[in-house]
Structure 1
């Protein structure tokens, strides 16, 4: 009995020693791996939240991103003004000629305001009750007869189609939501809003153009892409928003955002 008890005690001590050795080795390894993961997360996040909370308030999201963009834009304008002041103080013929060339290009580039008669076109998403009705209807009909729910929402290509038609109709200036459109303007969908030059804007989207109203109207009326949108607007089952108004005067402010040109070549 005594010998058997002693042998059992030795076995328990050996198992304890093995568990102790495992903890001594495993704990530093786990700590090292955890530290590595934290370091990688910190490096990839660049100081931001890798898993940000969901935005339930679209207005709050739009206001927040617009504020961030305006902060960067204000700083850019401050630096641009400083560069202009320093350049103006340089007494050099070459610099003077370059500044004169730049001044000639400011208007074609959209950096000066424009005003005059024109058109205003407003695009908006379909009413929510029509969307709900379409969802219910799609559950009851054959797949071939279902309505694509994307047709109830204004997309970036819809805005681009209207803008391109206005340019083709001879517009001298175009604005979206009051913001001047230039050659580097980017339009893209971002959730339930459309981003314009990095700033999200909710619908409805008001597009205005300065130019001969008749020429602008004819160009928009004959554009096949805009015609498809108008067809959905006239469809009582879809009812996406489309309206066109002749304007005695359209105000197109100068573009005052960040110019992100990387390469420039003279036109031949």
Structure 2
């Protein structure tokens, strides 16, 4: 073997070693990149699941919050409706007005009924208080609502199917000064009562308590209107208005034509 051939083989051997080393490093780098990519994909998958879980949690909290707000608003509206209907106990500033039959004896020829309290007297007081802004009224512990009857039955007064007798105590919640002033007007209820010797005393109070209505509620002729019936009634009203407007326009045109 010549020296030249020997050098050639050595050179080829070195080249093979270098190529093998380079290929090995390339494969190793490729594997490392693959491992990093796989790891990143796994990390992203875990992170995605965490984000989805957070999103679902927030969505649930938002739904609960909205439901709570709606429930709270509905409850508030229900409480207000019950208060207006007299179904809840009310408390606040107001007045207490006491009436008692006169102790004076009727003079000759006078009607003795003028010296005692009647249903019309009580109704006048109640109407004065309502006009003065009373938010809740009771008569001898009976809550007065729109359908409460106040009428004489013999020597007593029937209120919410309960017989009440003098003295009468009317409690009202509202601005105390305004309520009292409404009863003390010149020629008003108190002045009229005192003319006949009927006891009429009004006291302002920072804490007037009005009980809830306990009578019966019956509707013989009235009924609740459904949403569909409301729509039909609204459409009928709109149609009637349109017809009336058309007739008015035609009448105006005829009048104008006649004037020409």
Aligned residue number for residue 119 of structure 1: 95
User: Is residue 138–residue 170 contact of structure 2 (8 Å, CA) maintained in 1?
Assistant: yes
Which contiguous aligned blocks of 4+ residues in structure 1 show a shift greater than 4 angstroms?
Answer: 98-104
Q: Does 1:231 align with 2:224?
A: no
TM-score (structure 2 length as normaliser): 0.53
Q: 1:171 to 1:223 in 2, by over 3 A?
A: farther
Larger-Rg structure? 2
User: Is residue 169–residue 217 contact of structure 1 (8 Å, CA) maintained in 2?
Assistant: no
Q: 1:185 to 1:241 in 2, by over 3 A?
A: same
Aligned residue number for residue 247 of structure 1: 205
- The alpha-carbon deviation at position 256 of structure 1 amounts to 2.1
Aligned residue number for residue 171 of structure 1: 134
Q: 1:249 to 1:126 in 2, by over 3 A?
A: same
Flag the structure with more relative contact order, 1 or 2, with Cα contacts below 8 A and sequence separation at least 6: 1
- Over residues 86-111 of structure 1, what are the superposed CA-to-partner deviations in whole Å (9 max), with x where a residue is unaligned? xxxxxxxxxxxx99976652121111
1:260 to 218, 234, 239: 218
Q: Which runs of 5+ in 1 are unaligned?
A: 1-97, 139-145
- Over residues 58-104 of structure 1, what are the superposed CA-to-partner deviations in whole Å (9 max), with x where a residue is unaligned? xxxxxxxxxxxxxxxxxxxxxxxxxxxxxxxxxxxxxxxx9997665
- The alpha-carbon deviation at position 241 of structure 1 amounts to 1.6
Q: Does 1:182 align with 2:145?
A: yes
User: Is residue 142–residue 213 contact of structure 2 (8 Å, CA) maintained in 1?
Assistant: yes
Q: Distance in 2 between matches of 1:215 and 1:151?
A: 28
Aligned residue number for residue 168 of structure 2: 205
The structure where helix makes up a greater share of residues is: 2
Aligned residue number for residue 85 of structure 2: 109
Paired residues, what number? Answer: 153
Taking only aligned residues, the RMSD between alpha carbons, in angstroms, comes to 2.8
- Over residues 7-41 of structure 1, what are the superposed CA-to-partner deviations in whole Å (9 max), with x where a residue is unaligned? xxxxxxxxxxxxxxxxxxxxxxxxxxxxxxxxxxx
Q: Which runs of 5+ in 2 are unaligned?
A: 1-73, 226-233, 235-260
Q: Distance in 1 between matches of 2:130 and 2:114?
A: 25
